[in-house]
A and B are shown apart, each in its own frame.
Chain A
Amino acid sequence: MTLRRYVVKRALLTIPILFGVSVLTFALVKLLPGSAVDYILQFQDATPALRARLAEQYHLDDPVWVQYLLWLRDALTLQFGESLISDRSVSAAVVGRLPETLALGALGLVVALAVGIPAGVVAAVRKGDLADEASRVVALLGIATPNFWLGMLLILVFGVYLNVARVIPPLAPVYAPESLRFLLLPAVTLGTASAALLMRLTRSSMLEQLNEGYVRAARARGLSERTVIVKHVLRNSLSAVVTVIALQIAFLVDGAVVVEQVFSWPGIGRLLVQAIHQRDFPVVQAVVLLIATAVVLANLLADVVYSVLDPRIRY
């Protein structure tokens, strides 16, 4: 199978999953107890006439599947109606917050990759050494530290005691230097657990590859240890690591929701939590659908990269 055919086939497989995702997201709101009109009205009193009008406006009297199709049609054109709280359109609210979350997520991923992969390589090569043991301990601590707690401790140390970091985000665009500087602590907070997981995975994947016959064969051909490790072992380990990076996207999104809350960073995670507290369900639906779609596409991308990295998959 050629690479292109593989990609097309794999992409087609995501369609039923995206369909399921949309059904589930839609159903979420339908599962709310009580009348949907009450949620639209934010539980304020209203005349029966107003209630009837709202029910009609939101197609609440139609069969559920019609409601779903109408909602899906709107969703496909990125129209999620208006927020129940503010008068802004839901799409505008979400899109407005997107750059913040993307910046945070990207920086968090950079931290995770820049720390996790090299540390994992060193730990595998130095298996059993002090360096390996130390990285094992650090990874265990990193995985067990709640990110919200870590973020608060960082604020406490750098923001309150040392007074070298802002504790409130600057009123500047994401790409402004002060914003990026502010994002340093959130990115570290977000990336720590991922870095720890990636490190452990890189290590175990490397160790697995180190036991493969081609490693001994490569050594028997007189290649330097550096070439054996970087060119052969790391390269073969990367396939597994790439798969996990895709899973890390979901993990990072989870982290971002919490970290945004800790650092008052106005991204879509904070929007989601806010919307839930305010029972603003159109926003909740839009954010959840967006996140799930992004995760599905990230997994698709990972599979494509995987097939590029491993020639055995394609044929």
Chain B
Amino acid sequence: MTREPTTERGRLRVRGFDADATTDVDWSPDRGGRTASRRARAWRRFSGNRTAVAGLVVVVALLVLAVFARPIEVAGVTVQPFALAPYAPATTDVAPASQPPSLAHPFGTDWAGRDVLSRVLYGGRYSLAIGVVAVALGVGVGVPLGAVAGYVGGWVDEAIMRLVDVLYAFPFLVLAIALVAVFGQGFWKLVLALVVVGWISYARLVRGEILRVKEEEYVLASRALGVPDRSILARHVVPNAIAPVVVQATLDVGTVVLSAAALGFLGLGLPPGTAEWGSMLSASRDTLMQGQWWVTVFPGLAIFLFVLSINLVGDGVRDAIDPQGDSRREAR
């Protein structure tokens, strides 16, 4: 042996242990498929989650039912000719008023003789559209504002976060009610009210994530090495922040649908008489005492089923991309 590696500790010296002579250092068990990407692993975990998949199936089913409930016309051209719902939601006197469920009208008829089944199917359009649009816009407003607050800091951060604090002082629904009172009724006004109330949770989430990542050593190191802010944001901050935002947004669809329905129930969302699930319940409040359960049970069941399913999906998404449960659901 030409070279004798030695080492010593105190008086002891090991001679002849040649670390470089090992033959097979990189022995590693064959695992097959362990290198799958983050997204693929998340999808595998999600698709293995039976309740989450069931939730997704229900959400998609409700979506399909809503879209195909009645034909859709765009500028006079029918783009969706199917009609799963037997009647138009607003057609009155399709049968005697306030009839319990029957073969012809499986969900019965309401006080104006409208077919409840048709209205429930059609009503999905309002709830689903409000939920998705309001959440998407809320993300669109909250994420950039939160990112700017967190990254720029200083007075910009102060201004944005004080606004967030003030908005947080108002209970979600109370503020939405007050805003609807000011804006007036209508789909886009309702959405606007929900966005004004809803963006703050994303702003907080993203800001917090950015502040956390900014302190990570690798980011400090990249900065010291002169890596431009933009690429730090793109490489380290955004990927870390996306997961909690996606989880929050999915779960928020449920919250927003519930709030929109509550506003409808209070008679503050869409114009009265609209086949929106909450508004339908509002009208049924008066006929409840006569035991007309069907006008209450079915629209409520639709809201319940949708919110339950979207929450299952949200929980599944969270478990899939964040198996340790690091990003906890906001309690609100």
Contact = CB atoms under 8 A, between A and B. Distances in A.
Contacts of A23: 166
Contact of B178 (A28, A141, A253, A296): A28
Given A146-B304, A152-B284, A258-B262, A295 B169 contact: yes
Given A145-B304, A291-B174, A156 B281 contact: no
B94 interface: no
A278 B304 CA distance: 31
B266 interface: yes
Interface in A13-55: 16-18, 20-21, 23-24, 28-29, 31-33
A146 B258 contact: yes
Interface string A199-211: 0010010000000
Q: How large is the interface on A (under 10, 10 to 19, 20 to 34, 35 or more residues)?
A: 35 or more
Interface of A: 16-18, 20-21, 23-24, 28-29, 31-33, 140-141, 143-149, 152-153, 155-156, 159-161, 167, 197, 201, 204, 243-244, 247-248, 250-251, 253-254, 257-258, 261-262, 272-273, 276-277, 284, 288, 291-293, 295-296, 299
Contacts of B223: none
Nearest to A273: B266
B162 interface: yes
A272 B289 contact: no
Interface in B154-186: 162-163, 165-167, 169-175, 177-182, 184
Given A23-B166, A29-B182, 4 more contacts: A16-B162, A20-B166, A201-B331, A247-B332
Given A251-B171, A254-B172, A273-B177, A149 B304 contact: yes
A140 B311 contact: yes
A279 B18 CA distance: 88
Nearest to A253: B171
B332 A160 contact: no
Contact of B177 (A147, A247, A276): A276
B166 A161 contact: no
A141 B311 CA distance: 10
Contacts of A148: 261-262, 265, 278, 281, 300
Contact of B173 (A29, A33, A257, A284): A257
Interface string B179-221: 1111010000000000000000000000000000000000000
Contact of A258 (B169, B173, B304): B173
A261 B265 contact: yes
Contacts of B169: 17-18, 20-21, 292-293, 295-296, 299
Contacts of B297: 153
A250 B182 contact: no
B100 interface: no
A217 B265 CA distance: 53
Nearest to A293: B169
B332 A272 contact: no
B166 A152 contact: no
A26 B167 CA distance: 14
A56 B258 CA distance: 43
B170 A288 contact: yes
Contact of A153 (B170, B254, B266, B300): B300
Contacts of B170: 21, 24, 250, 288, 291-292, 295
23 contacts: A17-B165, A17-B166, A17-B169, A20-B165, A21-B170, A24-B167, A24-B170, A143-B307, A146-B278, A148-B261, A149-B304, A153-B297, A156-B288, A156-B291, A243-B331, A251-B172, A254-B174, A257-B266, A258-B266, A276-B181, A277-B267, A295-B170, A295-B171
Chain A interface mostly:
helix
A138 B300 CA distance: 18
Nearest to B268: A276
Given A140-B308, A152-B300, A276-B177, A261 B171 contact: no
Nearest to A291: B174
Nearest to B293: A156
A31 B178 CA distance: 11
A8 B3 CA distance: 71
B325 interface: yes
A193 to B, nearest CB: 9
B109 interface: no
A7 B184 CA distance: 41
Contacts of B254: 144
Contacts of A299: 169
Nearest to A277: B267
Top-5 shortest CB links A-B: A20-B166, A149-B300, A144-B308, A254-B173, A250-B171
B250 interface: no
Nearest to A261: B266
A295 B284 CA distance: 32
A149 B296 contact: yes
A64 B290 CA distance: 51
Contact of B285 (A140, A145, A152, A204): A152
B149 interface: no
A272 B170 CA distance: 14
A253 B174 contact: yes
Contacts of A288: 170, 174-175, 178
B120 interface: no
B155 to A, nearest CB: 14
Contacts of A17: 162, 165-166, 169
A272 B178 CA distance: 9
Interface string B246-276: 0000000010001001100111100000000
A1 to B, nearest CB: 22
Which of A152, A153, A248, A295 has the most chain B CB atoms inside 10 A of its CB? A152
Contact of B307 (A144, A251, A291): A144
Nearest to A296: B169
Contacts of A292: 169-171, 174
A182 B222 CA distance: 64
